[in-house]
Amino acid sequence: MTNFKLDKLCVDFDGHFSLKDIDWSVEDNQHWVIVGPNGSGKSALAGTLIGDGDVLSGSVEGLPNRIAVASFEAQAALIEAERKKDDIDLLDVISEGTPVSEIINEVCEDLELRDRLITAFSFDDLLQQSFRKLSSGESRKMMLIRALCSAPQLLILDEPFEGLDVASHGYLNDLLLEISTSIQMILVLNRIDEVPAFITHLGYMDNGRLVHRVDRTDSQLLSNVEQLLHLKTTDLSIPGRGAISRLDDLNPQQPLVQIRNGRVAYGEKVIFSDLNWTISPGEHWQITGPNGSGKTCLLNLITGDHPQCYVNDIFVFGMQRGNGESIWDIKQHLGYVSSALQWEYKVSVNVRNALISGFYDSIGIYQKYSDEQKQTAINWLTLLGMESRAEQPFTQLSFGDQRLILIARAMIKHPSLLILDEPCLGLDDLNRQLVLALIEKICAARETTVLYVNHRSEDAIKGIENHLSLDNKD
């Protein structure tokens, strides 16, 4: 086995995609799996190890001489090479193409393993057939046979289990475990449940960057990456609110919030003034500004938790502040998450009941809930990849998982407006990405308008296209 290193590597792929600042060290006796959402750069990263793409900056050091790869890209390249062998102008007949046996044998170094694979994959009757006449599943098997029997020092397998029948899947998994003692491997997978037992490390790709590198023995980090992958790739949508929690529909033509010449001041200290802002249904907003610029004050004007809301011209859900609206008139349409809420939520409830409490805007459960509300909570846990933790005490969750549950709690009744006040505050990078992935999913559902408050305007979330910047007036 070998050691190699990618140092601040930037690679361009025909101007359509690029890898950015890849720092990655693979050491002797390590086997890696690369995961991430579609389009994140998993296959591109694997491709750089065999020279794909144009290196813009950075370096690759220590790659072994013998690298074998089985991937859709390598398969496509082989098909294209076969097509180029045809020259209709020179031949009187159309070429049948290169036989499977020839394509396998041109790189084969391990005859015993080749024969084992041919038997296991039932390829004996296909050896004299043209490669181009194989089915997609047969082509995948041929690429695997070809790569495995070439005696590589480094074996790169991009979605090796894709398209295989159950028996072939099981055989390949056992074979990879067997050869893992002598051949270093890098696998690219979409499904975390397909990661073989011998894999020692996991890399998570997102937007062309290798953002996480996890030792598989670190169970907490691994669990977080699995949750992140689940949120990024699952086809599950935001769970419905159910008839039991159905709210009166608001006028879709009416702004959710309208502030005219908004002003907050303490004596001579003006926090902000002359603020005119309208939030329409379906408009997601990011609010940024330095400490003291009034971000939380602005939110409290909307929720009614700031005393100066009654001396401002503010309409919330069509009701003018100070004209006799009740707390419930506002809260039934509003979801709210902040670090302060997490500090307050220390009651002894399990995770499922913490979610159900969102139906009642309470901290804890103090009344009997319905079977429908219970099922809605379970659906949210499924979306978060946390269904096995339903009975676990909320206070025993990690800090990041608590934040995810509180966001789901705020969303469980499908409020018209979800306010997220610094939802990533106090989170490490991995938990921050978990929270952002959940917010992206909420924005994509287009049923709830999101106000996302943070310090950095560059911390953009896919789906949030409107931005309000509050400048410090000091």
Domain locations along the chain: 4-233, 243-469
pLDDT in tens, 116-128: 999 999 899 999 9
| Residue 205: strand pairing partners | 210
Distance CA 385, CA 234 (A): 10
**Least confidently predicted of 12-26, 66-80, 235-249, 302-316:** 235-249
Tell me which of 60-64, 179-183, 396-400 is least confident: 396-400
Mean pLDDT of the chain: 86
CB 29 within 8 A of CB 7: no
Residue 246 has pLDDT above 50, yes or no: no
Range 233-241 average pLDDT? 75
- Do the beta carbons of residue 190 and residue 163 sit within 8 Å? no
pTM for the predicted model, two decimal places:
0.72
Please name the helix (run of DSSP H) or strand (run of DSSP E) that holds residue 469, with its range, or none.
strand 466-469
Whether 4-233 and 243-469 share one fold: the answer is yes
Query: Own/partner pairs for 380-383, CB < 8 Å, 24+ apart?
Result: 380/239, 380/355, 380/408, 380/411, 380/412, 381/351, 381/352, 381/355, 381/408, 382/236, 382/239, 383/231, 383/234, 383/236, 383/238, 383/239, 383/408, 383/441
Exposure class string for 307-344: b at 16+ Cβ within 10 A, else e: ebbeebebbbbeeebeeeeeeeebbbbbbbbbbeebee
Of 188, 155, 157, the closest CA to residue 67 belongs to 155
As given in the structure block, the two tokens for residue 8 are: 């601040």
Which whole number is the average pLDDT over 26-36?
93
pLDDT digits (tens, 9 = 90+) for 331-386: 788 888 887 788 777 888 899 999 999 988 888 888 888 899 999 999 999 988 88
pLDDT for 328: 67
Q: In percent, how much of the chain has pLDDT > 90?
A: 40
pLDDT of 245 reads: 45
Complete edge-to-edge strand list for the sheet that includes strand 184-188: 67-70, 154-158, 184-188, 32-35, 201-206, 209-215
Give the class (CATH, top level) of 243-469: alpha beta
pLDDT tens-digit map of 151-162: 999 999 998 988
More confident residue, 332 or 54: 54
For 4-233, CATH number?
3.40.50.300
Pure H helices in 322-452: 327-331, 339-344, 351-356, 371-384, 399-411, 429-445
